[in-house]
Amino acid sequence: MEDTVLTYWMSFGVGLAWLYAVGHGFSRHSIESRVLLVALFISIGLIQLCWCLVLAEEIDRFSWVLYLHQPALFLIGPCLHVYSKVVGGQPLGRRILWLHMIPALVVVGFSLAQWLYRSPFEPVTLSSLSVAVSAGLGATYVGMVLWRLLQIDNPKGYIRAEIMVLVFLLLIGGGVAVSALLGGLLASRLFFQVYLSLVTLVMVLSYLLGVKYPELVHYIAEASESQKIKKYENSTLDNVDVEGCVEQLERLMQEEHLYQDDSLSLASLAMQLGLSAHQLSELLNERQQVSFSGYLKSLRIEAAKRRLLLDVDEPILTIGLAVGFSSSSAFYSAFRELEGCPPGRFRKQQVTPV
């Protein structure tokens, strides 16, 4: 009975990873974010599937899964790290991106050679060295993301929750690396059961965090922006026409309604203004006392309020998506945060005041 429950739980983890991949593939985030998240969750799903097959002693029947899972091992850490940079508004050149992907590309070639020259008479087995190195690399990348969050002064509840998830993930990666180095644990059923159960638990916790804080990545980016501004020793705006930039920013938002673009990022907006991401971040934080994500949020909510009252028959979800929010949960969360009530109640109170 216990094995059956664990099997269902681990199988649920495989399906959940690929469901995440499909969902993020059709999301309204930027193309870079979507590609990174799809690659991340496909990789997690492949690893879980491979290790479930090893646990069930069926990997020889599906040996191709093992050869696909090897490069996937080396993709998780880089994808998570680069994604955290992208949502933080830090532009990454192609050269830097490819640099992070070198380990996975090397393993792709190695796996292809293994597949072409494999012996049909030898059993398929996991490589202890590959598992140890990839888990250690992944833990290092998770540690880098965690370190950035730990630099935030007085973190709010959602950031502390994300920190706890990352610490949990770091411990899993470190534990897998040590276990793989010990060698014998890769032959233990208990090792695979514990690992696969914990990974599924991390994904469920991440989902619950996303439900409670639908704009979590934007909140973290907002906190990171404010923290970076505090660390500037010298202003980055000394040789910048600040007033001209502010006027151009207002024109882009008020006349061209650029805030309606749900993929708008700090880096892409800065490029339109002829500034660096750090310069735009400083301009908003120091001159207008607002972070980039807070600035966008307020513009979108103000636009939503106008539409809620102009056309009382327009669906609330349509309005939220039209003003730039990527989902209904993100819209409702932001509206409650700024107005103290959900958009439906706001419309009712304004149209038929008590």
Q: What is the pLDDT along the chain (354 residues), one digit of tens a residue?
A: 556 777 778 888 888 888 888 888 877 666 777 888 899 899 999 999 988 888 888 888 888 888 898 899 899 888 888 887 776 656 566 677 778 888 889 999 988 888 888 776 677 677 788 888 888 888 898 888 888 777 766 666 667 777 888 888 888 888 888 888 876 667 777 888 888 888 888 888 877 776 666 555 555 655 555 555 555 445 677 777 878 888 899 999 988 999 998 778 787 888 888 888 778 888 888 777 788 888 899 999 999 999 999 888 899 989 998 998 877 878 888 888 888 898 988 988 886 654
Closest CA to 141 of 180, 175, 173: 173
One-letter amino acid at 310 equals L
**Among residues 25, 90, 31, which one has the least CA distance to residue 263?**
31
Question: H-helix or E-strand containing 205?
Answer: helix 189-212
Which domains are present in the chain? 2-213 (1.20.1070.10), 237-351 (1.10.10.60)
**Mean of all residue pLDDT scores within the chain:** 81
Cβ(176)–Cβ(142) under 8 Å? no
Residue type, 144: M
The pLDDT value given to residue 353:
53
How many residues belong to the chain?
354
Quote the pTM value. Answer: 0.71
d(CA 316, CA 348): 12
The predicted structure's pLDDT at residue 205: 82
State the Cα–Cα distance between residues 210 and 204, nearest whole angstrom: 10
Nearest to 124 by CA among 69, 176, 46: 69
What does the pLDDT read at residue 305?
A: 93
How high is the pLDDT of residue 225?
Answer: 54
At 59 the pLDDT is 84
- Cβ 301 vs Cβ 334: under 8 Å: yes
pLDDT in the model for residue 218 = 57
pLDDT at site 124 = 67
